[in-house]
Amino acid sequence: MTDLILHHYEASPYSEKIRTLMGFKGLSWSSVIVPPIAPKADLLTLTGGYRRAPVLQIGADIYCDSALIAAELDQRFPARALAPNTAGTATPLLDNWADRILFWQVVRYSMGLRADAVPPALIHDREAFWDHKIDLDGLKADVGYHRGQITTGLGWLENLLGGADFFAGDTPALTDLALYHVVWFFAKADTTASGSGLSLFPALSAWMARIAEFGHGTRTELAPAEAIIIAVSTTPAPLPATGLAHPAIGASVQVLVDEFGTEVIDGTLVHIDDTRIILHRDTPQVGTVAVHFPRHGYPLRTTSIQGENT
Ligand SMILES: N[C@@H](CCC(=O)N[C@@H](CS)C(=O)NCC(=O)O)C(=O)O
């Protein structure tokens, strides 16, 4: 039995994506609650600087980013697999739209709606993390605009889904979860006396209900300190058998996050392939951990080795 530890927080939409995947696969997992704002000392001890939710820990292996976590869970638990990205599959384009466009429309909308109630500590934290000022008055004034952007997108999804159960057919794909958590975020924010704006979209509403039925699997709470003890007392799993012969293997490198934010994660590059980067990090607090990142969206800074980043 693999011990799955999910570092997450309740309101985090990306965490909801993985909690729902746990439910789809019928998995048992330990839940470590991460604070939604910095400092996040326990999480950073494990990741070396990556601060987002969710993060999956399996022993001394730390998986950053929900797309990579989903791929890892699918590989380890293939009995109920997500629909694969076979030839002719366009759904990864939708994942990208959900992450890079729709998610941010909902963030802006939700912040604008709650402009008078957003805790100042959250604003200060996100301003520092996103490295720009948040114009709450502007977001408040643009609430109608952002809601219209979102409902236009939901209309596209409604048409695309048509009468199908899921976006790739009979079986859910990663896309279904990537869209689900953003629509979940919207539906939670967009509540009026007459219900959520989601009710304008019957196919999408039925699809949301179908996915919500997966539940979250079997969750047991775990203290952050316990998760660190587990990392200390285990060693990273063997590396994948096939990797690229990259000139920076064995050297000190940095992984960045190109989406937004200011994280820089230092470590020794031990594996790289078309989909994943693995760093080993040694620290007095946790010993050796392997920190895994997707290739897509995570620049690898190796300038001192080969003169350019990859
Ligand atoms: N690309 C990442 C995005 C994760 C992300 O941005 N998570 C949000 C919460 S839903 C976050 O961590 N925000 C900053 C914070 O909570 O400190 C993924 O797919 O996991």
Residue that wins the pLDDT comparison between 90 and 55: 55
Judge if the beta carbon of residue 53 lies within 6 A of ligand 1: yes
Residue range(s) in the chain whose domain bears CATH number 3.40.30.110:
5-80+219-306
| 103-113 vs 174-189: helix crossing angle, rounded to 10 | 10
> How confident is residue 306, by pLDDT bands cut at 50, 70 and 90?
low
User: What is the CA(43)–ligand 1 centre distance, in A?
Assistant: 13
pLDDT of residue 257: 95
- pLDDT tens, residue by residue, 27-75: 999 999 999 999 999 999 999 999 999 999 999 999 999 999 999 999 9
Architecture of domain 5-80+219-306: 3-Layer(aba) Sandwich (3.40)
Ligand 1 mutation target, pool 18, 20, 52, most atoms within 8 A of CB: 52
The residue whose CA has the least distance to atom 15 of ligand 1 is 52
Judge if the beta carbon of residue 243 lies within 6 A of ligand 1: no
Compute the distance between CA of residue 100 and CA of residue 104 in angstroms, rounded to an integer.
Answer: 7
> How confident is residue 246, by pLDDT bands cut at 50, 70 and 90?
very high
Query: Residue 186's closest CA among 255, 244, 106, 266?
Result: 106
pLDDT of residue 305: 66
Residue range(s) in the chain whose domain bears CATH number 1.20.1050.10:
91-212
User: What is the CA(27)–ligand 1 centre distance, in A?
Assistant: 22
Residue that wins the pLDDT comparison between 309 and 286: 286
pLDDT of residue 192: 77
Is the pLDDT reported for residue 88 higher than 60?
yes
User: What is the CA(52)–ligand 1 centre distance, in A?
Assistant: 4
Q: HSE on the CB side for 203, CA within 13 Å?
A: 14
> How confident is residue 273, by pLDDT bands cut at 50, 70 and 90?
very high
Ligand 1 mutation target, pool 8, 12, 263, most atoms within 8 A of CB: 12
What average pLDDT does range 239-245 have in this prediction? 93
- pLDDT tens, residue by residue, 176-190: 999 999 999 999 999
69 and 150 in contact (C-beta within 8 Å)? no
Residue 307 — φ and ψ, nearest 5°?
Answer: 85, -5
Lowest mean pLDDT among 20-24, 45-49, 151-155, 241-245: 241-245
- pLDDT tens, residue by residue, 193-227: 777 889 999 999 999 999 999 999 999 999 999 99
CATH of domain 91-212: 1.20.1050.10
Query: Residue 66's closest CA among 3, 19, 115, 116?
Result: 19
